[in-house]
Amino acid sequence: MRKLTLFTLIMTMTSAMLVSQQKPKAETQPIEKNPLVMEWNTPYQTPPFNSIKTEHYKPAIEHALEVAKKEVDAIIKNKEKPSFENTIIALEQAGSMLGRVLGVFFNINEANTSQELQKIAEDISPMLTRYSNDLNMNPELFARVKEVYDNRDEIALTKEQRMLLDKSYKGFIKNGALLKGKEKDEFRKISEELSLTSLKYQRNNLADQNAYSLVIKNKKDLAGLPQYAIDAAKETAKEKKVKGWVFTLNYPSYIPFITYADNKDLRKEIWTASNRVANNGNENDNKENVLKIANLRLRMAQLLGYSSYAEYALTDRMAENPAKVMSFIDNLLNASMPYAQKDLKMVTEYAQSKGFQGELQRWDWSYWQEKLKNEKYSINPEMTKPYFQLEKVRDGIFMLADKLYGLEFRENKNVEKYHPDVVTYEVWDKERNKFMALVYMDFFPRESKRSGAWMTSFREQKVVNGQDIRPLIQMVCNFTKPTAKAPSLLTFDEYNTFLHEFGHCLHGILSECNYESTSGTSVYRDFVELPSQIMENWATEKEFLDMFASHYQTGEKIPQELVDKIKASEQFLAGYMSVRQLFLGLVDMGWNNITSTISGDVETIERKSSSKAELLPVVPGSIMSTQFGHIFSGGYAAGYYGYKWAEVLDADAYSLFKEKGIFNKEVSNSFRKNILSQGGKKHPMELYKAFRGHEPSNEALLRRSGFIK
């Protein structure tokens, strides 16, 4: 999930794959004719994608920057005494055109990019960073904000206004407002370098991933693979104009191969390629970028008086400080490790009973654990996929939103799209007959789209001059594509991903806030995954599945026996999976909690920070750091632990649904009222306690994982 507020756009810009070799055409129209800065006379003021051309972006961004600077300058020159309205609200609304243009640009650069867009991202990065620094380090502007903040207890403010004021003031502090002289100049330089290096990191990551293909010409090498994976590989080969079958590092292609292919050597090859992305000593190598980003972040934090970047970042997280994060990770690791070791022993012994010799290697793990799972629970994707046709899953999830929150999704074919794959939906609150949002759903992989799945927005919800501006939400996935033989049939994991990202969408759709900076998903990073992860709990509820999960050929409802098998397998390897997530949290903290400049071998540094969460034999050259986009270019630095943190929240929260009923309106109305509609109006713990009545504990998660009875 990514959050594209104006500040995030400026500070955490990312890049995407390069696909086109054409040079951009020169901009010849006057700026007032540029569709990006014109008023959008479209349904719900949606972006006019049919009119927007690549050459429009840079002039529009440059123009919007100048407009934003003038708006900020007007605040600074205001002769009136600083007030919440003429300073904090004015600052919140300044740069609205820039935010709108960047919202379109960065979302398209992620979901439907080109080499031209990538070049523009690199060109505008220094401009945006300079604008951010000029704003945050302007002493006159900060003086106005500080005066309002210092008098906050004497001003009648709502809780949301108080949160906005706190966020504004602390944002200035965290971005160098108190720095002087050389330190201020150094901070400026660091922030520009960080922005450009993060762009380079992501570009290298995606380019290296995209460069690899496993081409299979001998049909015998397909042994063990399910037919859907073979058919998809055939389609990929046709697209690439290659004879045979082609497997890539994109998840819908990579996961089936590493899980089912009988050919151990080929599994090793594709696993090695996947785990050496951007660590191959070529032009896409990220090792220097990893060290540079870690050290620049450290220096930035130290300039601001923090001992580490993690200490700096965690000041606006529920976890609050690095010690609390490490304690959280260690406690869960201690609870998970005995079960993870049992999982490893169980899979190893099973593989050996089937003739496997030696120590289980990493490219063997998925293969043998899947065989054991199939034997233990008699379940595999070939059995479940026919019941999860994409269109039926989508309709079922829409029905779930209706059951819980009274929402109706209506397809609107008149909204302009950025790609033919995209489908757009109006969302209506049926009881109030109120338009809530427009959602762009973009499901399938393509070369112009980065991997993964995410939710973001072209426009956030807010109230301006008494008018409730509803959000324009984007949900992007990379699901199994339809083939010549079958429609898009989702794996259970893909179905789960749909539920997860849709939960983020609901957080945006149901927002009832006043300010963009507090609306929707503008919440603490370790709280933002609660609305998404709680949705995954419905995945195996038969009462929900019966609403949509029917065989795409026969129409038969998913059998209870199959659902029971899915449920029975939910705790399978729970220990291993928990340790894996905690491993990633340790890698994150290893880079972002350093207190002195770091140098040397990136692989050695990663091993040192994460070794206590290693289970399988270490493979030289296979590291996470060079491709860990979440923490080096995606906004989750010193925050990856948040996925496990939110698991604690969602397990505890869903237990109330289980107690009262999975469609219970009292509970769902409370979750909407106290969590989904509130955005960042209040501190997350206050919101959570208003819903649940108490602070969460690890117990519900440990119980769900099977670690306690």
Q: Which helix (H) or strand (E) holds 680?
A: none
Give the active site residue among 501, 529, 606, 647.
501
Q: What is the mean pLDDT of the chain?
A: 93
385-568+643-705 maps to which CATH number? 1.10.1370.40
Q: Please list the residue range(s) of the chain that carry CATH number 1.10.1370.40.
A: 8-136+138-174, 385-568+643-705
pLDDT of residue 101: 97
- Report pLDDT digits (tens) over 426-436: 999 999 999 99
pLDDT of residue 598: 97
The rounded distance, in Å, linking the Cα atoms of 666 and 657 is 10
- Report pLDDT digits (tens) over 319-346: 999 999 999 999 999 999 999 999 999 9
pLDDT of residue 574: 95
The rounded distance, in Å, linking the Cα atoms of 109 and 371 is 40
pLDDT of residue 201: 93
pLDDT of residue 22: 33
pLDDT of residue 11: 37
The ranges of the chain with pLDDT < 70 are 1-28
317, HSE (Cβ side, Cα atoms, 13 Å) = 26
Torsion of CA 34, 103, 95, 135, to 10 degrees: -120
- Listed in sequence order, the residues at least 6 apart from 22 whose beta carbon sits closer than 8 Å to its beta carbon are 115, 116
pLDDT of residue 550: 97
8-136+138-174 maps to which CATH number? 1.10.1370.40
pLDDT of residue 709: 75
Which residue from 310, 690, 317 is spatially nearest to 528, judged by alpha carbons?
317
pLDDT of residue 449: 85
Where are the extended beta strands (E) located within 20-134? none
pLDDT of residue 13: 36
pLDDT of residue 635: 84
pLDDT of residue 28: 58
pLDDT of residue 206: 85
- The answer to whether 109 and 15 have CB atoms below 8 angstroms apart is yes
The bridge status of strand 423-429 relative to strand 214-216 is unpaired
Whether residue 311 lies in the annotated active site: no
